[in-house]
A and B are shown apart, each in its own frame.
Chain A
Amino acid sequence: MPTSSWAVLRFFAFATLSTLWAFSCQAGQSSKQFTVLINLKNNNTLIQDRVCRSSVKIGVFGENVTVVCATGVATEFNGNSNNLPWSPVQDGEYRFVTMAPKIANIQDGNDSYAGMGTVTSWRLVSLSNRDYLELMIGW
């Protein structure tokens, strides 16, 4: 047999033995099982310190704005005639600030009867020459 044929045979024999040795060395397995448990809570609680966008613009009194949501994030504002920049922010929460003349005797507060998608809290930011009415809206 030519030398090259012997070399090929030796190569395949070595490869076969190496493969068998590798399999024999990794033949053992030991396993155990466990379960991944998840408790998912719906996020009905709004957190004011996570607001990242705001706007200061005069809107239209009594205007109805419909917010279109997808998987918890607002994607569209319909009926927003003044194009108030209520851009989607984190946690499904939005902040809208409108300038107001000096208003006396308005208390900060929360509307405990408001449902999801409505104004849920507000506050009056009082500066030296003007006031801002801040609305916190969440879905």
Chain B
Amino acid sequence: MKSLTTKKFAISAIAAASLFTAATSTQAASVTSTFTVGITLTSLCSVSTPANLTFAYTAFQIPAATASSPFTVTCVNGLPFSVAVSGAAVTDDAVGLAYSLLVTPPAGGGTGTGASQAYSIDGTIAGGQAGTCTAASCTNAAATNNLKTITVTY
């Protein structure tokens, strides 16, 4: 009886030792692998929609009529860009008044900062123009060349 008990103890001890050895051998080795985080940043600029530019002009008025409309340009950091406006010097084909449009600061260019940058479209109608109007007042609602485009190139 005593021999049987001793055998059981011996078997248990051997089993325990085997388990301990196996556990120890499992945690002894490590394997590593590296990888790279790849990011492709597509450069982009966005421009806000300017409000319509509204002039009030009295025929033959001496001072020039001016109007201004703000807008913003937002570009990624460090990206150079330029701003241009279409039809910058035209004669309105409805009321016959010549005017000019200018982007301020100058459209020569800027550099993206990641934040919105303030610009404005400044328009001028020179004084002393007659215009075309058969009533007490006229608007250029029927003009075909009063739709303008502000373009940011980057």
Contacts and interface: CB of A to CB of B under 8 A. Distances in A.
Contacts, number: 130
A40 interface: yes
Interface string B17-53: 0000000000000000000000000011111111111
Contact of A36 (B56, B61, B123): B123
B45 A30 contact: yes
A91 interface: yes
Contacts of B149: 31-33
A40 B97 contact: yes
Nearest to A28: B154
Given A26-B153, A39-B137, A33 B57 contact: no
Nearest to A93: B60
Contacts of B136: 41-42, 44
B52 to A, nearest CB: 5
Interface in B113-141: 121, 123, 125, 128, 130-133, 135-141
A40 B132 CA distance: 8
Contact of B47 (A32, A35, A43, A44): A32
Listed residue (B44, B48, B58, B152) with the most chain A CB atoms within 10 angstroms of its CB: B58
Q: How large is the interface on B (under 10, 10 to 19, 20 to 34, 35 or more residues)?
A: 35 or more
A71 B152 CA distance: 39
A44 B146 CA distance: 26
B130 A30 contact: no
B52 A41 contact: no
Interface string A41-69: 11110000010000000000000000000
Contacts of B150: 31-34
A72 to B, nearest CB: 5
A40 B52 contact: no
Contact of B135 (A26, A36, A42): A42
Interface string B62-93: 10000001010000000000000000000010
Contacts of A37: 52-55, 139-141, 146
Given A36-B140, A38-B97, A50 B47 contact: no
Contacts of B95: 38, 40
B15 interface: no
A50 B61 CA distance: 10
A42 B45 contact: no
